[in-house]
Structure 1
């Protein structure tokens, strides 16, 4: 006598979860869709009461051309690339050895140091803006690339993320490297960092997105237009060049956001692996 299997009880729950995710994703995407739509519309269609993604008159060439010519947008984006790249390189150079020490070495005050890292994680960076501004003034780095890079060299989040990933690497790997005569720094760069590449990629995405979109600190630290990163440059573009012409402004915003979206979609596999790898242990 054969019995048929009961229907899966998890199917309604799975449908509900996916529906919630789709609705949430739609809400997240609405501002981006709106931004792209406005970037290809003429001024007369931007403030229509009814919304349509595709304009009656395509005005994208004019808006994007004006966005590139009315202000040095490419210079702003180049500044963002330089600043974000140098910050990521400096953060990895500092955070990887610190995380290795907290994960694999024993020394007095280790737990206290890790507690300080956790405390630093909950402090918003804006709290430190005034002392950092005074320090930058005293050492003479304001209105330079150094002013945009120096405050972010040490990342508590980077130390925490790398430490969690390093702790999943077996201690036998470390012991074998020491038996081969490698120093502790050599173990960090030749063993730990290559094995933690997913975590490094995930952290790099977080870092680049955060500093590419940063407005508060650059607004304080630099005044020279040739040093402005993309968000500050777009604000200057709006105030000085575009005025109330929102088509070119939305075109400039679209071009600034596009590299981040492309980079994330290209590295999303390593991004997820890097965030979940440290949760194993």
Structure 2
């Protein structure tokens, strides 16, 4: 018992330290969001603000930053991207995992290569193409570069590799086509992996600032990160209380969504990571 106690205590200490490091920025964000502007950069930091300014900070963040519209735009963009990603990635990954055809290994190699290419690399040709097509400052411009997801293909392929071949052979003997097998058999079984991928996709595109900053010029199409930028002022230094209040409002839906889907998310990561 004593021999196993020390490693467990060390493991829990490391996990606790990691949790503190991860949570510290969020705690600082919440503490700053309830402070008046004059106390944010005070000489002495006091966790309890001298004046509770949460109502005015959150009201200003909600009204002046146009956050309701920005969060609606974020939901439209994230759900639109996710829907197309699933429609494209699920059958493609099933084919890479279960169908035998010439060039399958090369295609999977291209998928792995695509994991190494960030959005900043093809940003210029994508921007020029959208500009020539007259599609800048639209929902389509915000979503189109992310419709094809190599990460989703890789994740779902790892899951489908473990799907029993006997079930697929029996379905084919019963007269089911490949697309019917994908959507009626394989997809319901892959719900944990879909939940895990959905969390990654929504979080990435909800928080994305780089691409919306390039293709969006109107406030009506601003996403949540662009809505928060309304409180940035290089001359006055910005209202950091309202800025942190806006950041808290933008972060809250992601935290709630993860808490709701955490079991499916962890199960999906576990099931795909072991294969």
**TM-score bracket, shorter-length normalisation:** over 0.9
Matched, 1:137 2:110: no
Distance 1:62 1:222 in 2: 29
| 1:279–1:30 CA distance, 2 compared to 1 (3 A) | closer
Q: Is the CA contact (8 Å cut-off) linking 1:199 and 1:271 kept in structure 2?
A: yes
| Cα displacement string for residues 236-281 of structure 1 (whole angstroms, at most 9, x for unaligned residues) | 34249x9622111111110001111111122111111111212333
Q: How does 1:7-86 map to 2 (within 5 A)?
A: 7-86=1-80
Q: TM-score, normalised by structure 2?
A: 0.96
Q: Is the CA contact (8 Å cut-off) linking 2:91 and 2:179 kept in structure 1?
A: yes
Distance 2:218 2:51 in 1: 38
Per mean C-alpha deviation after superposition, the further-off stretch among 178-187 and 102-111 is 178-187
Per mean C-alpha deviation after superposition, the further-off stretch among 171-180 and 47-56 is 47-56
Q: How does 1:122-271 map to 2 (within 5 A)?
A: 122-239=116-233, 244-271=238-265
| Structure 1 spans left out of the alignment, 5+ residues | 1-6
| Structure 2 spans left out of the alignment, 5+ residues | none
Corresponding residue for 1:276?
A: 270
SS at structure 2 position matched to 1:257: helix
Distance 1:196 1:89 in 2: 15
Distance 2:224 2:24 in 1: 22
SS at structure 1 position matched to 2:273: coil
RMSD of aligned alpha carbons: 1.6
Q: TM-score, normalised by structure 1?
A: 0.94
Q: Is the CA contact (8 Å cut-off) linking 1:117 and 1:160 kept in structure 2?
A: yes
